[in-house]
Amino acid sequence: MTPARTAHQQRFLHRYGPWAVVTGASSGIGRALAGRLAEAGLNLVLVARSRPLLEALAAQLSSRHSVQVSVLDLDLARDDQLAELRAATDHREVGLLVAAAGFGSSGPFLDADLVSETEMLMVNGRAVMQACFHFGRRFRAQGRGGLVVLSSIVGFQGMPYAAHYAATKAYVQALAEALQVELSDCGVDVLAAAPGPTRSGFAARAGLRLGKALDPEAIAQPILEALGRQATILPGALSKLLTYALVPLPRWARVRIMGQIMRGMSRKD
């Protein structure tokens, strides 16, 4: 039997349902957000590269929360990714996009692999922009909806030894801030979630050693609760601490300090 939903969950379902699209749903924050959305009663289109992981998650969520879950194994770095995403979602009444897919790298920029860095730009930047453009237009036409994008605390200044990753997150942060204003009179809510270090597969792919890190499950609900209430959220005490501690400093000082932190975290150094 499906548990009774709270008044907040019912309002959330009414405003952003009945379907939500979640990219990067196979792990980390994307997976945690998908779970919270299913708990609120939204049907889901889960997007990631690994079909087995998506199918396992879909079976779990549909069984536990009595929602419909569709999966799309898609590499968002591909040129045709938007066409495939549209084909999988245009026939569904989507009211929410959660663009959580992304990856990073660490180490000196000029020592990086150019192919991988270009793929990062496609996933972290182009795919987010195209999804926001497509679903933003749909939501504007229907007079309601929400866009949630994953920024990062590294997007508020340059980040030596993760220069390109930070630049992609600065793009996402700036895009979300502007769209929040542009779409506020159209019934469309926009939120940039800017977490600090988080326990997921991100660190392993980026080649980082993490000490203290956020739990994706602990920050998923605060992110969703911020949608429609603010433009940016720093989920979790660690994100706030790492960001607000640097606020009084000039930008050049923040860049140097963040570079020292990142250099110490990099396994390549």
pLDDT in tens, 82-115: 999 999 999 999 999 999 999 999 899 999 999 9
Q: In which residue are the tokens 């972290």 written? A: 124
pLDDT by residue (tens digit) across 40-51? 999 999 999 999
The three-state secondary structure class of 197 is coil
Identify whether the C-beta of residue 45 lies closer than 8 Å to the C-beta of residue 25. no
What is the structure's pLDDT at 269? 42
Looking at every residue in the chain, the average pLDDT score rounds to: 89
**Mean pLDDT along residues 199-218:** 64
Annotated catalytic sites, by residue? 165, 169
What is the structure's pLDDT at 29? 94
108: left (phi over 0), alpha (psi -120 to 50) or beta: beta
Angle at 86 between CA 81 and CA 87, to 5 degrees: 100
Q: Give the contacts of 200 (CB within 8 A, at least 6 positions apart).
A: 27, 28, 29, 216
Q: Is residue 156 scored above 80 in pLDDT?
A: yes
State in Å, rounded, how far the first CA of the chain is from the last one. 53
What is the structure's pLDDT at 114? 97
- What is the set of domains in the chain, with CATH numbers? 7-265 (3.40.50.720)
